[in-house]
Structure 1
Amino acid sequence: MAFTAQFFTADTHFGHQLMLKDRPFASTDEMDRALIDNWNAVVKDHDIVWHLGDFSYHDEARTASIFSQLKGRKRLVLGNHDLANDGSVRRSLASLAWDQPPSFYAETKQEGERVILHHYAMRVWAASHHASWHFYGHSHGRLSNHGRSRDVGVDCADVGFAPCSFWHLTSDMLDDEVFA
């Protein structure tokens, strides 16, 4: 069996015109193509990618087309743009072949470390007082790291518009800020 790596990302906002204001792309087509290419440059077919919300702003057909081009087993932690006005999962996302059903919260283990996954940043999270990690999106790189908590979205300066590994995301974070 092949080695399975896990990657983390958020806020791709495929097709969302307003994202061009702060991203270096001339069109949503160019942005979508770059995000797909960057994703596939790091993710293998059997890898797991945790997407921490705000996946796509496209209709069902275009969202499904993009989803099918992305390598890996995709898991969605729901963000505000992933929901319809009534609070249900947007139809364009609900029918996709997610590796597990989309949820508002998830946890995983990485290199023996507990990682709490949510779309929104939290000041405290499950086991934060016991050195767990917290990854989130929503902030588009505008919030600085806090202890063992950080934004993993594509707009963060250190991720290159691509999903990143646990090691990449945590290697520069200071352990001395962890709650005791």
Structure 2
Amino acid sequence: MAYVTKYYTADTHFGHQLMLSETACSRPFDDTRAMDEALIANWNDVVKKDDTVYHLGDFSFGLHDGDRVRGIFSRLAGRKFLVLGNHDYKHQNEVHPVIAGLGWEQPPCQQLETNDEGQRVFMSHYACRTWPGIRKNGWHFYGHNHGDLPPLGRSRDVGVDCDDVGFSPRTFKQLTSGMVPEYVA
């Protein structure tokens, strides 16, 4: 197998009209189709077939159109893992069947850990005040806040709306470059 790169992203909200509104994220697209196509193109510009992508929640919206969601998923390169976000559920504690039925590398889960660049990374959809490994220089990546919650120590939002990600998945090095590495809790 060729060299594999790990990428992180969150809050793509494929098909979600509200993401274009000035009262929400004010994404710079004419409509959701243009937004979806840009997100897919940006993803595939960096992610290769065997790369790993950790999506930290809120993959899509409008899950009643399962064919559209499955079509988008099938066009995205890489081996994909999902940490569940609030829009990935049908009802409380019930993952939406369209989301659950996509070809994730493992069943979607509430939180996940990996090692990247020799560093421990804890992932959840929501920002945490503390996380596994915090006292041992572990990192925490999250979504949900659409770039509105600034990084703190070794914790940061990795969602597509963050100013430094350009609506695209990013690597550990890209996401942590310039961050204060000290323990914060």
- 1:81 equivalenced with 2:87 (yes/no): yes
- 1:71 equivalenced with 2:77 (yes/no): yes
Q: Which residue among 96, 104, 107 is the counterpart of 1:101?
A: 107
Shift of 1:104: 0.3
Shift of 1:166: 0.2
Q: Where do 1:28-177 residues align within 5 Å? A: 28-58=32-62, 59-176=65-182
RMSD: 1.0
One-letter amino acid matched to 1:141: G
Q: Measure, in 1, the Cα distance between the counterparts of 2:104 and 2:123.
A: 16
Q: Measure, in 1, the Cα distance between the counterparts of 2:168 and 2:109.
A: 22
Shift of 1:127: 1.3
Cα distance per residue 1:39-75 (max 9 Å; x no partner): 0000000000000000001321100000000000010
Q: Measure, in 2, the Cα distance between the counterparts of 1:44 and 1:167.
A: 17
One-letter amino acid matched to 1:83: Y
Q: Which residue among 28, 31, 43 is the counterpart of 1:24?
A: 28
**What TM-score comes out, normalization by structure 2 length?**
0.94
One-letter amino acid matched to 2:6: Q
Q: Measure, in 2, the Cα distance between the counterparts of 1:69 and 1:179.
A: 39
One-letter amino acid matched to 1:7: Y
Q: Measure, in 1, the Cα distance between the counterparts of 2:135 and 2:89.
A: 31
Q: Classify the secondary structure of the residue corresponding to 1:164.
A: coil
Shift of 1:24: 0.2
Q: Percent identity?
A: 56
Q: Measure, in 1, the Cα distance between the counterparts of 2:146 and 2:42.
A: 17
Equivalent residue number for residue 10 of structure 1: 10
One-letter amino acid matched to 2:84: L
* Residue-pair matches, total: 179
Q: Measure, in 2, the Cα distance between the counterparts of 1:92 and 1:27.
A: 23
